[in-house]
Structure 1
Amino acid sequence: MVHSMLRALVQRGHEVSVWLSRYTDDRTDYDLDGVQVVPLQSRLDAASAIRKADVVVSHLENVPSAGALARGYGKPLAVVCHNTHLPSFRQMAAGDTALAVYNSQWMAREAELFFAEYPKGVRPRSEVIVRPPVFADEYRTKPGDKVTLINCNLEKGGRLFEKLARRMPEVEFLAVRGAYGEQVLPDLPNVEIVDHVCGHEMRERVYSRTKVLLMPSSYESWGRAGVEAMASGIPVIAHPTPGLCESLSEAGVFVDLHDADGYETVIRKLLNDPVEYRLVSKRAKARSAELDPTADLDTWCDAVEALAR
């Protein structure tokens, strides 16, 4: 999400740099779509960069430290919120967040409920909704023949995925190893396991091999993978979290994550009934078109430019 937002700022002519706070193997700066990325091992003067910046953007666990530095140097702070967990809201409830960016309407409503219990002075001075940007052309491909789960940890539905693969030995499954969480990777002849895949490789390595995408997540604030899959008309079977209901809308096929029988029934229906598959695929493509990110990114860039002024 954040990379696409920063790339949009670069396309507007702004100079953007990202300072990583976690260890990676990279030791020198590099360019990613016009964004300068500074690894932790490259330079240790992030505070100097903030002092020279016009706007500071932060998210997740970096908000307290970035916010303190921005406050110390008198720089406007924008916080990108990826989830509705209380720490996300508490970290920007200090009265010095200039802009809060929520990734969905339901997250914005949850934030409203949170801040209703606090003095008006602690809430962000302005707020925008920017849905995780997915340009369909970057993901569109011809669907494959596998039933896929991306990130096989427990919260994303790894156990259900394993159960379904055992129930349907004649169906080919694709398990994509996630970057976090305990991974449930079934050792079964009908399950192919793919190591963690970078975003720019998802089209070729995952979606071009996927016929149906599973998203039986216990929590999703939005559900970017589902939106990426819909660009190719890939049906998405999902647990009805508020985020997934908002992102997939009428294109989603919603089944409770505890209902293994329901998931099996829907998978078999989609794989064996070409008419039903075409109908769901058509709805997916239509929803993908509705989620064109151009307007959201314009809103984001306008808000950042207003802070800089």
Structure 2
Amino acid sequence: MRVVVLVNRYVPKYNAGSEVTMHRLARALVGAGHEVQVVITWHLSRHGYHLDGIPVHQVSERDADDRIVQLSPDVILTQYDEIARAAWLRAQYGIPWVQLIHKDDDNSRAALRLPASLSVFNTRWIAETFADHPGRSLVVHPPVDADEHRTRPGNATTLVNLIPDKGVEVFYALVDRFPSRVFLGVIGGYGRQDIRTDRPNVRIHPNSPAMREVWSRTRVVLMPSLHESYGLVAVEAMVSGIPVIAHPTPGLREALGPGGLFADRDDLDAWAATLAALDAPDRYEAASQYALARARTITAENTAELAEFVSAVESVTEVRL
């Protein structure tokens, strides 16, 4: 089966959760013996590259349709801005298409009105939000390869992506409240980064798809996110037994489970108290063991969901027009 992943942005130049998830799904299809190529329409250059053995073509929006037709895919896998193009290619050439849905917004609802062969929701709560969607669908949580992230934790309190939506103001407020504690700010893959170098207890880590180094420096992860449809960072950290404190978005509740540590992003005292409580060795050990157990549960579910995903994508080619 020939698969074209049609996206406007892709890793490693754009390391957001949706793009990371798309690449991991592409790798699952390759692992099942299928040929996968990626077409990026929001290009930073015209030069292609390979990532984990997958060819990545960077083309202009004007040339994208012709390039995709030349690749002669049996199915197109897409998300976000390129969903409309996939629907057009289906109408013109009969190519089945599969869409990933990551958000509970109007754009997702509009996409679900288009005749996709399959819709893949990244969480159960998103699937429930669009329970009235009449088309074929399944849930595939963003997969995590534990071996890519597992390490011995460090001593820093870490925030990944220094932007307001991810809670950068909470991060710096805690930096000021705990001057003797080491904090690590990781530059994100998108958004205007709020990098402050005037705090002696803050270290800044560059943006990178290789997150094991971040986890090797991290003792606790902060996720005071305004919006978080899932919480891929949380799961990646928990693989190494790193506790995560999070704002209770639906996605983070689904990722962290019933034993997760939560504090409202507008309640700084709650964040400070939860963080300080983890200084007690027994409290930290309990939270760390919970994180490890939760990560094991999620990665086991990932294996089953990826197998279902591959099977579902294979099946849509059987009904090509």
How does the TM-score come out when normalised to structure 1?
0.91
Query: Are 1:171 and 2:181 counterparts?
Result: yes
Deviation at 1:47, TM superposition (A): 3.3
Instruction: Give the drift of 1:248.
Output: 0.8
What's the secondary structure of 1:44's corresponding residue? helix
1:11 to 14, 24, 31: 31
* Count of aligned positions: 294
- Cα distance, 1:145–1:77 mapped onto 2, change above 3 Å: same
Q: Secondary structure at the match of 2:112?
A: coil
Q: Which residue of the other structure, out of 271, 275, 285, is the alignment partner of 1:267?
A: 275
1:129: how far off?
A: 0.4
- Name the counterpart of 2:310: 301
Match of 1:119 in 2: none
Alignment of 1:152-301 (within 5 A): 152-187=162-197, 188-198=199-209, 201-204=210-213, 206-270=214-278, 272-292=279-299, 293-301=302-310
Q: 1:239: Cα distance to partner?
A: 0.3
Unaligned ranges ≥5, structure 1: 116-122
The CA deviation at 1:62 is 1.1
* Alpha-carbon shift at residue 283 of structure 1 (Å): 0.4
Q: Is the 8 A contact 1:47 1:69 kept in 2?
A: no
Offset of residue 48 of structure 1: 4.1
- The offset of 1:21, in angstroms, is 1.3
1:92-128: per-residue Cα shift (whole Å, max 9, x none)? 312x211000011000001115x4xxxxxxx43x101
Task: In structure 1, give the amino acid aligned to 2:164.
Answer: L
Residue in 2 aligned with 1:111?
130
* Amino acid corresponding to residue 202 of structure 2 in structure 1: V
Query: What is the CA–CA distance in structure 2 between the aligned matches of 1:71 and 1:231, rounded to whole Å?
Result: 43
- Rounded to whole Å, the distance in 2 between the matches of 1:238 and 1:279 is 17
Structure 1 runs (4+) greater than 4 angstroms displaced = none
RMSD in angstroms over aligned alpha carbons? 1.7
Shift of 1:185: 2.3
- 1:138-170 Cα deviation digits (max 9, x unpaired): 100000000000001101001111111111111
Structure 1 pair 50–88 and aligned structure 2 pair: CA distance change class (3 A): farther
* Counterparts of 1:223 and 1:12, CA distance in 2: 26
Segments of structure 2 that go 5 or more residues without pairing to the other structure are 1-20
Contact 1:19 1:46 in 2 (8 A): no
Matched-pair identity in %: 39
Secondary structure at 1:193 match in 2: strand
* TM-score, normalising length: structure 2: 0.88
